[in-house]
Structure 1
Amino acid sequence: MPTSVRKAALVLDLFSVERPDWGPTEVADELGIAKSTAHALLGELTSVGLTERLPCGRYRLGWRTVGLARTMLATSDHRDVIKPTARRLASHFDETVHVTAWERGRVLYVASERPPRGVAAPAGPVAAQLTPPGTVLLAERDGEAGGGLDPDEAERVRRRGYAVGTQRALEGVDCAAAAVRTSDGPATAALALCAPRDRFQARRDEYARAIAGAGERIARSVRR
């Protein structure tokens, strides 16, 4: 990847819900680059709509990122394969199924199929260590920067094809999760079937088998 493109990507990666705006000096300090370089990168990103400059001189993500996200969701396997699979699971079990994505050690809840009695998604990104979809995505990254599972646990998750546990970002909720493989390399998305603990534990093994099977079906469909 050309150095300038990589640096621009690193700048975009800084923006988050917790820290939505950055100044050039902060960007320079965070990335270890010259302030002039940070200023130039932010200017280039702003010129194509990926960031925008606030009156105070700070920057935030631009509306162009919304258009790119919509295009990705409308043209990727999410629309044709992943979302219908999540919908079928939610309908069959009458429980919530989340589509989640990996983001720098955190899990983003991208979409949810939630029946009337289903549980909600966490309000924002969740540290990967705190949630079963994060566990399966961490297992994909065992030994890499951003990994964080015990090696034996990572191997068990990969061998089984799923993770089961407590959704620690929400009280009283358990989940079964499986990686969603739509390309080469570590999975960047996961499905999670979540329910109140009493209902979940009554069907724990059934939910685990179902979510693992869903992940396998998605992978086979994408490879065709």
Structure 2
Amino acid sequence: MATAEAATRLVGSDRVLAVLKELAGYADGATLDELTKAVGGPKPTIHRALGSLRRAAFAEQGPDGRYRLGDEYLRLAFDFHEARPDHVRVRPALETLAGRFGETTHYAVLDDREVVYRAKVDPPTGAVRLTSTVGGRNPAHATAVGKLLLARELTSLAEVKAWIGRTPLPARTANTLCTAPQLHRELDKVREQGYAVDDEENEPGINCLALPVHALSSAAPSGGVSVSALAYRTPLRVLVGRVAEVREALGPLGEPR
């Protein structure tokens, strides 16, 4: 949620976007008072921002007085998501892998210090499903996909240090690699083996195997496909032992163009 201090600096369209972003966190809708408290700023100002969103059909107010995301906003978001060629092309491989492994599969891309999930397929039946969502984010250094894609961009210790900068990397679990030397050694290993793993580094009890995807017309990976598994059910050594199976499922998408 935005802080009151940050909200006081929001003007015009910035304020409207801040309200829109906050509203997306309330699946059951939010009152004007709730949004005012969350975003900060005077209530009439937040009300005017909501008015702008309602005129664009990006927000709506129900009979209960609560504000929700509008159908037009959802239509645009889903139309844009479904039109992404990488998402459309990768999904069959995700479905194949989810069925074979009985675990959740993802397709994600790198966005600076985070990965963004563009597609997700849960196992067909009988398995615990992960809470990750399309559009959700996780720290790149703590995820298999993130490390896979960082390995191409950060090829020296100096580059890793510059990427970390003055903002310490968060330790999501006791296994998270947070220092520049640790991450540099891991990225070297990723480049050598051609895949990356997450050994319960982002979430306790969850491990992951990731391989690159070349869904677009560039030699650089457009993103990565991961198999995310409950560690007690599918140990990391089992995932790593089936790397060839993941490559086979990806087919041409797993090969540079």
TM-score (norm 2): 0.56
SS in 1 for 2:199: strand
Aligned position for 1:41: 49
1:201 to 236, 249, 257: 236
Map of 2:38 onto structure 1: 30
Amino acid at match of 1:203: V
Measured in 1, the distance between the counterparts of 2:58 and 2:213 equals 28
Counterpart Cα distance in 2 of 1:179 and 1:10: 34
Query: Are residues 1:148 and 2:170 paired?
Result: yes
Aligned with 2:234: secondary structure? helix
Q: Distance in 2 between matches of 1:146 and 1:5?
A: 32
Counterparts of 1:60 and 1:188 in 2: how far apart (Å)?
Answer: 33
What is residue 209 of structure 2 aligned with on the other side?
Answer: 176
Alpha-carbon shift at residue 50 of structure 1 (Å):
1.3
Find the aligned partners of 2:230 and 2:11 in 1 and give their Cα distance. Answer: 47
Bigger drift between 148-157 and 50-59 goes to 148-157
In the superposition, relative to structure 1, how do residues 207 and 144 fare at CA in structure 2: closer, same or farther (>3 Å)? Answer: farther
Of 83, 106, 118 in structure 1, the residue corresponding to residue 91 of structure 2 is 83
In the alignment, structure 2 segments of 5+ residues that lack a partner are 1-9, 154-162, 172-177
- The DSSP-based 3-state class of the residue aligned with 1:148 is coil
Match of 1:120 among 114, 118, 129: 129
Offset at residue 76 of structure 1 (A):
0.4
Instruction: Compute the displacement of 1:43 (Å).
Output: 0.9
Q: How far apart, in 1, do the equivalents of 2:102 and 2:222 lie?
A: 26
Greater shift, 187-196 or 58-67, is seen at 187-196
- Report the alpha carbon displacement of residue 38 of structure 1 after superposing the two structures with TM: 1.3
| Structure 1: distance between partners of 2:168 and 2:76 | 25
Identity %: 18
Distance 1:157 1:17, change over 3 A: farther
Q: Do structure 1's residue 72 and structure 2's residue 80 form an aligned pair?
A: yes
> CA-atom RMSD, angstroms?
4.9
SS in 2 for 1:33: coil
Instruction: State the Cα distance separating 1:46 from its structure 2 match.
Output: 1.3
Are 1:162 and 2:184 counterparts?
A: no
Structure 1 segments unaligned to the other structure (5+ residues): none
Q: CA deviation at 1:180?
A: 7.2
The SS at the match of 1:22 is coil
